[in-house]
Amino acid sequence: MSSPKATNLLQGTLDLLILRALSLEPLHGLGISRRIEQITQGTFQVKPGSLFPALHRMEEAGWLAPSWGESENNRKAKYYRLTAAGRRQAQAETEEWQRISLAMAAALQAT
């Protein structure tokens, strides 16, 4: 098992990535995982052991709403979409992340 520090870091990142992945359209679990791979150009490959707990946690938090639909190959699948609260959260987290990355970039350039 990974150390708690790494998990925490990943968790913050993962939430934002999931929120971004769902910003266009509702997706099911595997879809989210593939979308993240796609938008991060393969940098992040989310394992189901991290993905599903995060999805359910965010659902509990009211950011995601579930709905059952058919997948591209005609299978029943659980789709997640962003709620209004989820959009606000995505907005807030994006700003937060940008602030951090600017600060980090400045810090790295300063030396």
Partner 1 sequence: MDPLSYLARLWHNLTHRRKVERELDQEMTAYLALLADESSPRDARLETGGIQQLKEQVREVKAGFFMQTILQDLRYGWRMLRRSPTFTLVAILALALGIGATTTIFSIVYGVLLRPLPYPAGDRIAFVFNHFAPQNAEHGTLSIADYLDWKRGNHSFESAELYRQSLFDVTGAKDPEQVQGAYVTAGFFSMLRVQPMMGRTFLPGEDAGNAPGVAVISETWWRSALGADPQILGRKLNLNGVPSTVVGIMPSSFGFPRPTYKVWTNVRLIPPTRRGPFGMRGLGRLKPGVTFAQAQLDTNAIAHHIELENPKTYHRMTMPVLPLRDGLVGNVRAALLAFLAAVLVLLAIAAVNVACLLLARATSREKEIALRVSLGAASGRLIRQLLTESLLLSMLGGAAGCVLAYLGVAALRAWNPGNLPRIEEVRLDSVALAFAVVVSALTGILFGLAPAFQTGRDKLASSLREGGRGGTARAGRRLQALLVMGELALALILVTSAGLLIRSFVLLGQVNSGAQAPPENVLSMKISPIASKYRNSDQIIPFYKRVLERAQATPGVLYAGISDSLPPDRQYDYDTFVIQGQQLPPGEINPAVTCPIVSPDYFRTLGIPLVRGRFFTEHDTENAPPVVIISESMARRYFPNENPLGRRLKASGPDLNGTPFMEIVGVVGGVRYTGLDDQPADAYYQPYGQTMYYPRTNLVVRSAGPAAGLASSLRRTVRDLDPDTVISDVTTLEEALGASVVGPRFRTMLLGGFALCALLLAAIGIYGVIAYSVAQRTQEIGIRMALGAPRSNVIGQVVTEGLRLAIAGTVLGVAGAFLATRLLSSLLFAVKATDALTFAIGPLILIAVALLASFLPACRAALVDPVIALRHE
Please give the helix or strand (H or E) that residue 82 lies within, else none. strand 76-82
Rounded CA-CA distance 59/72 in Å is 23
User: Within 32-61, which residues bind partner 1 (CB under 8 A)?
Assistant: 47-49, 52-54, 56-57, 60-61
Nearer to partner 1, 2 or 73 (CB): 73
Minimum distance between the CB of residue 105 and partner 1, rounded to whole angstroms?
A: 31
Nearer to partner 1, 26 or 29 (CB): 29
By CB under 8 A, residue 5 contacts partner 1: no
Q: Which of 77, 23, 39, 79 is nearest to 55 (CA)?
A: 79
Binding site for partner 1 (CB under 8 A): 28-30, 47-49, 52-54, 56-57, 60-62, 66, 71, 73, 75-78, 85
